[in-house]
Amino acid sequence: MTPIQAKRRVQAKRRDGPARVAIVGAGVSGLGIGWRLAQAGVGVDVFERDRAGSGASDAAAGMLAAGVECEPGEEALLALTLLGRQLWPAFRDELEAASGLSVGYRDEGTLVVATTQDDARRLRFLTEFQQGLGLALDWLTGSEARRLEPHLKPGIAAAVFSAADHQVDNRLLVQALKLAFTRAGGRLHEGRAVTGLLAQGGRARGLQLGGESHEADAVVLAAGAWSRLLPGLPEADQPPVRPVKGQMLALAMDPARPLLERVLWAPGVYLVPRRDGRLLIGATVEEQGFDGSLTAGGLYALLEATRRVLPAIEDLAVAETWVGFRPTSRDDAPILGPGRLAGLWHATGHHRNGILLAPVTAAALSDAILGRPAMPALAGFGPERFAAPARPLEAAAGARP
């Protein structure tokens, strides 16, 4: 420990925050929270049963698309995703400085294209909804879209450009968080599965790791799609989170002659071009539990939808295929805040937004654990929103008793 870290730790103690925090899961959530707490001088241990990032965090596409992804029914979530988008540039700068790594942030924006008149009608409906929420989106003609991305096949019916929806290389992000966290004094334990939550006297006391126990003043549940399954979680603290399967693949473009500059959404697919030449193609959304298989139908649907807009992909080599599990809460919004059990904190349920929300998650949980005032945008995203039945069945006339 450097003298500065030692001094910070003393300060943290003086503020009566917890001195030792144990975190379950080394995805972007667990590592981001760990980094912020370690920066504040707290002693942090992150336990990861596999490798850091091996859950959803390495599987993601890294889109920071608060704008074009906003759907009816998710108006409340928008406040949070917009905050994520706003915090990202400063978060990137600080993280790159702390880790010495680039996170591959690209700010060329996101283009959404419609290929048929029906697609254009759907896109118009969605865009009007999004513009009604104050999002800045430009409606383009097909030829304007093709001027931005000349490899697009002719026959684009309409398009929308969002200049503020960017992307980051989520795998580089995991590596950078890992370094920043350990450089700030945090301890990362990879290949260490947490086998239970330890609680005593109505408080979380630490974690069980096979035969060993690890004591802590606070425990953070950041185990992604597996968060519900941690043994020893009291029933009232089992978050309503399930895995939502996503199949993806990457093609290898010539980095000097990429087929795309911007993130592209087309009917049935999105494409994310990386600086290293990888073209990410995603993603299926499947209610298949933890079934990790790549299916013919899944890959076919992604490739077919891609070929319809970007025919030049036919010559590209397939670089990689994979499956990830989105940690999806019942309302698709993250669950951030104190559990029922004292000393237990939830940081899960991010669904398809965990990369976008990484700066928010890190700030929200570290502020809360250190007893700092909460950011106003966080109101309503705690675990307590699921505690009471969201809507008593009798309230809806005609519902089954």
Ligand X SMILES: Cc1cc2nc3c(=O)[nH]c(=O)nc-3n(C[C@H](O)[C@H](O)[C@H](O)COP(=O)(O)OP(=O)(O)OC[C@H]3O[C@@H](n4cnc5c(N)ncnc54)[C@H](O)[C@@H]3O)c2cc1C
- What burial class does residue 216 get, using C-beta atoms within 10 Å of its C-beta: 0-12 exposed, 13-18 middle, 19+ buried? buried
Tell which residue, 203, 197, 258, 259, has the closest CA to residue 230. 197
Shortest Cβ 362–ligand X spacing (Å): 10
Shortest Cβ 191–ligand X spacing (Å): 9
Q: Which is nearer to another protein, 227 or 361 (CB)?
A: 227
Report if residue 111 touches ligand X, rule: CB under 6 A: no
Report if residue 273 touches ligand X, rule: CB under 6 A: no
Binding part of the chain for another protein, among 209-217, 237-245, 259-267, 316-324 by CB under 8 A, reads: 237-245
Q: Which of 296, 317, 388, 390 binds another protein (CB under 8 A)?
A: 390
Give me the 16-45 binding string for ligand X, x by CB under 6 A, dash otherwise. Answer: --------xxxxxxx---------------
Distances (CA, A) of 32 to 86, 177, 245, 289, 290: 17, 6, 23, 26, 25
Q: If you compute the radius of gyration of the chain from its CA atoms, what whole number of angstroms results?
A: 22
From the list another protein, ligand X, none, partner contacted by residue 345 (C-beta under 5 to 8 A by kind): none
Report if residue 88 touches ligand X, rule: CB under 6 A: no
Q: Residue 198 CA to chain centroid, in angstroms? A: 27
Shortest Cβ 379–another protein spacing (Å): 17
Rounded Cα distance, 61 and 271, in Å: 9
Binding part of the chain for ligand X, among 50-58, 150-158, 197-205, 234-242 by CB under 6 A, reads: 50-58
From the list ligand X, another protein, none, partner contacted by residue 354 (C-beta under 5 to 8 A by kind): ligand X
Shortest Cβ 112–another protein spacing (Å): 17
Report if residue 240 touches another protein, rule: CB under 8 A: yes
Helix (H) or strand (E) holding 320: strand 317-329
Shortest Cβ 83–another protein spacing (Å): 19
Q: Which of 129, 295, 307, 374 binds another protein (CB under 8 A)?
A: 129
**DSSP string spanning 183-241?**
HTT-EEEET----EEEEETTEEEEEEETTEEEE-SEEEE--GGGGGG-TT--GGG---E
Tell me which DSSP letter residue 378 carries: G
Cβ contacts of 94 within 8 Å, gap of 6 or more: none
Rounded Cα distance, 308 and 265, in Å: 12
Site for another protein in 142-201 (CB under 8 A): none
Scanning the structure block, which residue is given the tokens 């013919």? 296
Q: Which is nearer to ligand X, 17 or 224 (CB)?
A: 224
Report if residue 400 touches another protein, rule: CB under 8 A: yes
Site for ligand X in 200-239 (CB under 6 A): 222-226, 230
Q: Which is nearer to another protein, 287 or 314 (CB)?
A: 287
Tell me which DSSP letter residue 276 carries: T
Scanning the structure block, which residue is given the tokens 């959304």? 285
Q: Which of 255, 289, 311, 380 binds another protein (CB under 8 A)?
A: 289
Tell which residue, 276, 272, 275, has the closest CA to residue 249. 272
Q: Which is nearer to ligand X, 6 or 76 (CB)?
A: 76
Tokens describing residue 214? 């690890």
Cβ contacts of 305 within 8 Å, gap of 6 or more: 266, 267, 268, 269
Report if residue 291 touches another protein, rule: CB under 8 A: yes
Q: Which of 54, 99, 175, 182 binds ligand X (CB under 6 A)?
A: 54
Q: What residues line the site for another protein (CB under 8 A)?
A: 71-74, 129, 228, 238, 240-242, 286-291, 328, 330-332, 351, 390-391, 393, 395-400
Q: What residues line the site for ligand X (CB under 6 A)?
A: 24-30, 47-50, 54-57, 59-63, 193-194, 222-226, 230, 246, 248, 282-283, 324-327, 348, 350, 352-356
